[in-house]
Structure formats: structure tokens, C-alpha cells
A and B are shown apart, each in its own frame.
Chain A
Amino acid sequence: MLDVSRVQKELMEVERDKLSGVSIQILGSSLSHMQGTIEGPSGTPYEGGVFTIDIQLPSAYPFEPPKMQFITRVWHPNISSQNGAICLDILKDQWSPALTLKTALLSLQALLSTPEPGDPQDAVVAEQYLKHYSTYVSTARYWTETFAKRSSIGLQEKVMKFVEMGFSEDAALGALQSTGGDENAALEKLCSG
């Protein structure tokens, strides 16, 4: 049974603390599925990007870690460039119930600034990081510019664009949310589904 009161407290805490650059939106009616966003840390190739993370809370939360995965595509040795899977000990065997969604998201932010190529999730990125560091930096920056930049137009306008194309508003909104606001990915999803 999910500890609803604790999750609500955590969400309130995130809401209150605007300075951390972390935010969480609830998806659907239950508290078990939500989406978090973090800002790319300054002084890294991820600076200026906003990264969306899918969060699934298991029923035993907080005694089990939340399941987190990057929705926004990111070039990082410890994050899969294919599916966004994260290699971070506190989300696995080093989880502690004193950690919260906010601290976990902040840890992801810290992970972005301090990659651990020795314990990689994505071997290709890790190899590039170790052997051709400058290529890694430029690739990561390019991916941030391409996938993690908040486009100049807002979500509502994007939805309207899809509605003009002939999709229903609900479907367009759902597709955009599940792809983290990426228009091309959302269009692909709408066409395939």
C-alpha cells in the first residue's frame, strides 16, 4: 500500500522549494505515476536544458526505491542513450527511506555534473567520454540543444498545432506529455498509435 500522506508531503515540499530547479507533475488520478523535471547543471554540457524524468512509485514506497527513467534523450555515460535508463546506486541497492523524490531528482542533477564512466550504463558514451572527451562534450551539448531545450512555443500551442493537423486534443496532449514535449516524437507516436 502506497504511503499517500508521505507522497503528498513530498510533493508539497517540492512545490514550496522553487530554488532547487526541481518540479514534479502528477500523471493520472493515482499518485503512483508522475513526471519530474530537472534543470541541467551550469558549467556542464547539459546547461540550459530541461530534462524530464518518468517516475513510477512501487506500492512499497518509501521502503523500495522509485523507478526513474529519463524521457528526454540525454548523452551521458550513466544514462542509456536509447531508453533513458539510469545507473545510479541510490535508485537501486543503496536506496534509503529517508531519501525523497526531491533528493533523488537532485541526485540525478548531480549525476549529470559528475559522470561515472567507470560504472557505465551506456558503454558507447562511456568510451567516448574516456577516449575522446571533447567529442563527448560537443555531442552532449548538441543533444541538450536538440532534445532538452524548452522550445519557444508552449505546450498549449503545440497541442493546438496537432489539433489543426486533425488529432484530438486529448490524444495530442497525452502524446506530448509522454514524450516530454518533443514534437517530432509526439507526432510519431500519434501516427503509430
Chain B
Amino acid sequence: MPTKRILCKYFKQGACFKGDGCEFSHDWRDPDCNVCTYYQSGNCAYGSSCRYEHVKLKRPESVTPARTSTVAAHTNFGTVGATSGALSRSSGGNSEAWQNNLSSADIAWQEHSPFASYNGGWQEAVSYASADEGWPLPSSSFQIRNEVEDTPKYNDPSEEPICALAATGRCTRGESCPYLHGDRCSLCGKECLHPHRPEERDEHRRQCERNQKRLEALRFSQDIECSICLDRVLSKPTNAERKFGLLSGCDHPFCISCIRDWRSTSQPQGSGSDAIVRLCPVCRVLSYYVIPSVIWYSNVEEKQEIIDGYKARVRDIDCKHFDFGNGRCQFGTSCFYKHAFRDGTTEEVKLRHLGAADGNTVIAKDVRLSEFLGRLNLRR
């Protein structure tokens, strides 16, 4: 199934209610199809400012209904426009007839498009579709489907789709809506909980809780000022600057850029672990690392969550200093990034333990020639 490898547009917006039954991919790693349908027929009104890509798709040599429906399904809005055109032709614009027609057919598009029962866009869609002369109308495919699935029967109630408009909080028909309305989610207030799909309900609730928490944290983070530039971190001009730098040792907030600038300030007198730049500028507590984060935290658990999340994200990224074994990373075993060789094997660290004169054990560092040369210069 070719569409299974394309990211679902509705899933991307967090609004796909088909769950596992969706013919599009719900895996973030899959690419999304961002091709403009109107450009294919040469009449995209947005021109160069269109948010979709203006590239010509290779047109199939012989147009078969199956192929057409695939193309239509690729671009969800296109499907609506084209099909509605086809429908209005067959029904002559009579809304009674349209209702009957619709109820028995075209589950594919009505269940996958939030525009399905949007009457206002109807005429518009027709005009788009009728202008679509060079592109094969998918009407044929839908007529074929009409014959096949005359009256949609759902053996399992969990297969019945819910009204997509109600799920986004915009269905104005209320009781008279022919589609199943989901239960209202207590968190987001939308009728989007499918009554017969428990996993989906749980998933939605979890998602909603996460969103709510994040919003709350963002609101709380708005007023927090950086102690170095004295600006509010989230009011900085560029996106890259609107990030906090979390210190491992204490809870004082800084912009990521400010605290990194300070920690990279050259300190000739003390370059060891007690160097002043490694201390918090406010409380002078030593921090070994700084973690970037878009939100600030209000308790220890949240801080740990942010740190763990960051570490997990960068653990899969190859360390550029280690450079697959060609380079040398000064952070060694403490590096957050991946230390792997080209063949996929990870670096094995052999620490050399030495007994110091005072009886303590120390870990021997790699000795570099430059360290001796530097000392020679000083003695002269």
C-alpha cells in the first residue's frame, strides 16, 4: 500500500480519528506529502506564496480508477473538491438528493476530511473541480465504489467513524447530524472520544494531558528572566534565543546563549573543574553541564524529566568531536552524544586507575605532548 508510507495530514495536526485503521502512516519518521494539487492542474491561486510544493508529479500513462483514487487520497483536500464536483453533477445541486447519495457512498472521503459536511465550501469546491480538466476526475472511482458498497454496514461498532467536525468542535448540526458524535473530552472539550475504541480514548486523554501540562509550563515560563541579560527569556527576538539553559547544580534561570557565552569565556588562571565560569553566576554552585529547554520547570521531577528527555534525544546523534573514532572528544565517557565507530560498534572505554602518593586512586588522563611543552615555556 503506497499511502501507508506517507504521513497522515490529520495525524500530523493531532486530529486523525481512524487510529490503526487509517490508510496513511501514523509514524512521524515517514515523510509527508506536501504537493499542491491545484498546481498539478496549473491553477493554484496562491502562486509562489503557496504553502504546498509546486512540483509536477509524473502523470500515469493510462489512468485507471484505482490509480486515480490513490492520487486523490494522497491529497486529502483535493479529494473533497473533486468528489464534491462529481456528486453535485450527479445530483444537480439538489441537497435532498445529495444527502441520500452521500449517506450511501464515499465513506472514504467523508471520514477522512474535516470539510466533508461543510456546506459553505461546497460551491467553491465545485468550481475548483470543474476547472480540473487536465487531471482525471476521480468521480469514476467513486461511482464504482458506490456500486460495490451500497449501504455501509458496520459489523463492529468500533469501525464506525465519528463526525470529524464534531471532533474539532465545529459541527453545527447537533442531534440531526447523520454521523456518530464522539463523547466529549473533559480536558479539551471536544466531542472526539470514540465510544467503541478504548485505546484511542486513552491515547487522546494522554495527549490532552500532555498538551495541557505543556501549556501550563509555557505560561509559567513566560515571565522568567535571565540573570545575565536581564531580559525575559521567552521574549527574545529570535527563536534560537528563546531557550532556557538549565544548570545541573542549581535552579537559577538563564538564556541558553547567555550561559553558554559565560561558560566559554576564557579564564586563564583556573582551567580546572573549579574554574569560575563553571559556577552558577548567581549562587556560585558548580554545574557540570547545561541543558537547553524551551520551558522552565517548577519542581525537581520536571527538571529531571527535561534533562532525561534531552539526553535521550542526543544519545542517538553521533558526537562530532569523536567523529567515528577519528577525533577526540574531551568529554570522554561523560559525553551525551553517541560515540560509535563507522561499523556501528560503540567506543569501549578503558580507564586507567593509578594509585596516588596519598593512597587515593586517581583515573589517569591521556597525556599530551603539548602539556609538557606548555610547562617548558613557563620555566624559561
Contacts and interface: CB of A to CB of B under 8 A. Distances in A.
Nearest to A10: B230
B231 interface: yes
Contact of B281 (A5, A9, A10, A98): A98
Contact of B262 (A3, A93, A97): A97
Interface in B131-150: none
Q: Which among A9, A60, A97, A99 has the highest number of chain B CB atoms within 10 Å?
A: A97
A96 B276 contact: yes
B276 A98 contact: no
Contacts of B229: 3, 5-6, 62
A62 B228 contact: yes
A64 B266 CA distance: 10
A97 B276 contact: no
B284 interface: yes
Contacts of A96: 276, 279, 281-282, 284
A10 B227 CA distance: 12
Interface in A1-37: 3, 5-6, 9-10
B261 A5 contact: no
A128 B276 CA distance: 34
A192 interface: no
Contacts of A9: 230
B168 interface: no
- Most chain B CB within a 10 A radius of its CB, from A9, A64, A95, A98: A98
A10 B231 CA distance: 11
Interface string A58-96: 001011100000000000000000000000000001111
B258 interface: yes
B271 interface: no
Q: Which secondary structure dominates where chain A touches chain B? A: loop
A64 B262 CA distance: 9
B103 interface: no
A137 to B, nearest CB: 34
B112 to A, nearest CB: 50
A184 to B, nearest CB: 40
B265 interface: yes
Contacts of A99: 281
Interface string A30-50: 000000000000000000000
Nearest to B228: A97
A5 B241 CA distance: 15
B268 to A, nearest CB: 9
A95 B277 CA distance: 9
Contacts of B227: 97-98
B62 interface: no
Interface in B229-271: 229-231, 252, 258, 261-262, 265, 267, 269-270
Given A63-B261, A63-B262, A63-B265, A97 B230 contact: no
A60 B258 CA distance: 12
Contacts of A94: 276
Nearest to A7: B230
Contact of B269 (A6, A63, A93, A98): A93
A5 B262 contact: no
Contacts of A6: 228-231
B258 A97 contact: yes
Contacts of B228: 6, 62, 97-98
A110 B164 CA distance: 69
Interface of A: 3, 5-6, 9-10, 60, 62-64, 93-99
Given A6-B230, A93-B270, 19 more contacts: A5-B229, A5-B231, A6-B228, A6-B229, A6-B231, A62-B229, A63-B261, A63-B262, A63-B265, A93-B269, A96-B279, A96-B282, A96-B284, A97-B227, A97-B228, A97-B281, A98-B228, A98-B252, A99-B281
27 contacts: A3-B229, A5-B229, A6-B228, A6-B230, A6-B231, A9-B230, A62-B228, A62-B229, A63-B265, A64-B265, A93-B267, A93-B270, A93-B276, A94-B276, A95-B276, A96-B276, A96-B279, A96-B281, A96-B282, A97-B227, A97-B228, A97-B258, A97-B262, A98-B228, A98-B252, A98-B281, A99-B281
